């Protein structure tokens, strides 16, 4: 990476210890790393984070792992051993933040709960990420993304209207939500610590994170009202909104937000201005109630046009629209290319492209995807361990 940036790194000098696995916590700490924090990822000796074995689609590496684990250092520790616990506490004594999403209760059993750590390291910020949070009847339940999509009500409004039409999101939305809320909370805790000189306990649950995202369907069904129906790629309450077939066999996505856009759509796109005055479609509630017959009218017009022609009319009328890209097209999306949003990062098997962090971007904070335990010798030497002692740790299975 030759790109330079003269902005100061906002988290330079901040050290994060990450007892992390899977997606939520690793995504959180990657955000911190790429704002300048030093993130030391603690992994199991030999195998490392189990997400390393999810698949082998990136030149033999896991697609999930390379996504959320660049810009970190990897240290392997067998946390069941006393020697590894000593190493971990040496790290914590110099750290600013501990992030963990191990199995429920695992850190408490190791003496690493916030209450235990706060007595030893009063300025340490401890962020626990879990499926359901601390306390309550679900505290000890295992949680995976699909299960949280189910518990949060996400699956009840996502999918197609037919029987058995529930569909999970195609990416890990519950993990992503929790990871992003956690990184945001950590930044707030750092600001608070600058005023109080006290660490903080952050307890982020995947359930609460995704339920927050469910605010619209929750309030739409407030006080026993009928919840929004599953609408596939359409909108449950706004119409026309969603996917529409086009004459060349392709699909266009479009969305109308108000009656002014509806009139423009009828006049400039459909070329049926009288449709705007039809009482069946005069406002959004009526259009939504009569969506099947309206969909047929739209499909009839679009059937005689190519995707390019439809999009041209929609753009001229100021109607929001999009094409349905697959992953191959996203890799080469013209907007991402024009805005220079890709960079190259190193991995143990060679360089791969990666999307630059949205928002503030600090290229000098971005580094490669680490191999398992890649930085263990350097980290332990910085902690004062001699090469002979490090070799002994290796022989004893500590690291």
The CATH number given to whatever domain includes residue 111 is 3.40.50.10540
- What pTM value is reported for the model? 0.93
Asked if residue 2 has pLDDT above 60, the reply is no
Which CATH number fits the domain that encloses residue 294? 3.30.1540.10
Under DSSP, the state recorded for 384 is T
368 and 317 within one domain: no
353 and 316 co-located in one domain? no
Q: Is residue 333 part of a domain?
A: no
CA distance 34 to 366: 6
**Are 108 and 177 contained in the same domain?**
yes
Average pLDDT over residues 370-396: 98
**Quick one: average pLDDT of 31-55?**
98
pLDDT for 102 equals 96
Q: For residue 335, is it within any domain?
A: no
What distances in angstroms separate CA 253 from CA 199, 234, 320, 325, one per listed residue? 47, 9, 8, 11
* pLDDT(100) > 50: yes
Taking residues 182-205, report their average pLDDT: 98
Indicate whether 107 and 140 sit together in one domain.
Answer: yes
- Based on the domain organization, do 35 and 183 belong to the same domain? yes
pLDDT of residue 4: 62
In a domain, 219, yes or no: no
Q: Are residues 190 and 108 in the same domain?
A: yes
Residues 300 and 195 placed together within one structural domain of the fold = no
158 C-beta neighbours (distance < 10 Å), count:
18
Confidence of residue 1 (pLDDT cuts 50, 70, 90): very low
The alpha carbon of residue 313 and the mean position of all alpha carbons in its chain are separated, in whole angstroms, by 35
The reported pLDDT for the residue numbered 104 is: 92
Is the same domain home to 352 and 312? no
199 and 78: one domain? Answer: yes
Same-domain pairing of 202 and 266: no
Q: Closest Cα partner for 393 from 84, 142, 110?
A: 84
Are 329 and 336 in contact by the 8 Å Cβ rule? The answer is no
Per-residue pLDDT, averaged over 121-138, amounts to: 97
364 within some domain? yes
Does residue 265 surpass a pLDDT of 80?
A: yes
What SS3 state is found at 40? strand
Q: Is the pLDDT of residue 316 over 80?
A: yes
User: Which pair of structure tokens corresponds to residue 231?
Assistant: 């609408």
Q: Is 339 inside any structural domain?
A: no
Same domain? For 192 and 66 the reply is: yes
Q: How many domains does the chain have?
A: 2
Which residue range(s) make up the domain with 248? 241-323
* pLDDT at residue number 7: 77
Note the pLDDT of residue 236. 85
Cβ(365)–Cβ(354) below 8 Å = no
The predicted pLDDT at position 140 comes to: 94
Is there a single domain that holds both residue 205 and residue 85? yes
Cα–Cα dist 21/74, whole Å: 12
């Amino acid at each position: 990476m030759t790109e330079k940036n003269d902005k100061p790194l906002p988290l330079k000098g901040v050290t994060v210890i990450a007892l992390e696995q899977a997606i939520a916590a690793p995504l959180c700490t990657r955000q911190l790393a790429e704002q300048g924090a030093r993130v030391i990822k603690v992994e199991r000796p030999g195998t490392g984070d189990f997400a390393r074995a999810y698949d082998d689609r990136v030149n033999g590496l896991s697609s999930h792992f390379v996504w959320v684990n660049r810009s970190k250092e990897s240290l392997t520790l067998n946390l069941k051993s006393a020697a590894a616990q000593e190493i971990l506490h040496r790290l914590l004594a110099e750290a600013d933040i501990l992030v963990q999403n191990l199995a429920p209760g695992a850190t408490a059993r190791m003496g690493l709960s916030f209450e235990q750590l706060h007595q030893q390291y009063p300025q340490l910020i401890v962020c626990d990420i879990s499926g359901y949070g601390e306390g309550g009847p679900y505290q000890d339940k295992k949680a995976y993304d699909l299960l949280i999509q189910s518990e949060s009500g996400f699956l009840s409004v996502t999918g197609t209207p037919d029987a058995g039409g529930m569909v999970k999101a195609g990416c890990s939305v519950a993990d992503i939500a929790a990871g992003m809320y956690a990184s945001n909370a950590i930044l707030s805790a750092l600001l608070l610590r600058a005023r109080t000189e006290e660490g903080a306990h952050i307890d982020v649950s995947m359930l609460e994170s995704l339920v927050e995202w469910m605010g619209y369907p929750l309030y739409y069904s407030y006080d026993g009202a009928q919840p929004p129906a599953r609408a596939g790629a359409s909108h449950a309450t706004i119409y026309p909104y969603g996917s529409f077939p086009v004459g060349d066999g392709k699909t266009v996505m479009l969305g109308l937000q108000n009656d002014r856009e509806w009139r423009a759509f009828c006049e400039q796109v459909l070329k049926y201005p009288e449709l705007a005055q039809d009482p069946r479609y005069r406002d959004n509630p009526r259009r939504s109630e009569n969506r099947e017959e309206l969909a047929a009218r739209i499909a009839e017009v679009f059937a005689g046009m190519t995707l390019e022609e439809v999009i041209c009319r929609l753009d001229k009328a100021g109607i929001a629209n999009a094409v349905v890209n697959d992953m191959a097209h996203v890799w080469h999306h013209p907007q991402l290319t024009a805005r220079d949003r890709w960079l190259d990062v190193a991995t143990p098997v060679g360089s791969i492209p990666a999307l630059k962090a949205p928002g503030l971007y600090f290229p000098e904070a971005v580094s490669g995807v680490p191999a398992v335990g890649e930085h263990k010798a350097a980290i332990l030497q910085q902690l004062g361990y001699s090469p002979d002692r490090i070799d002994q740790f290796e022989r004893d299975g500590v690291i």
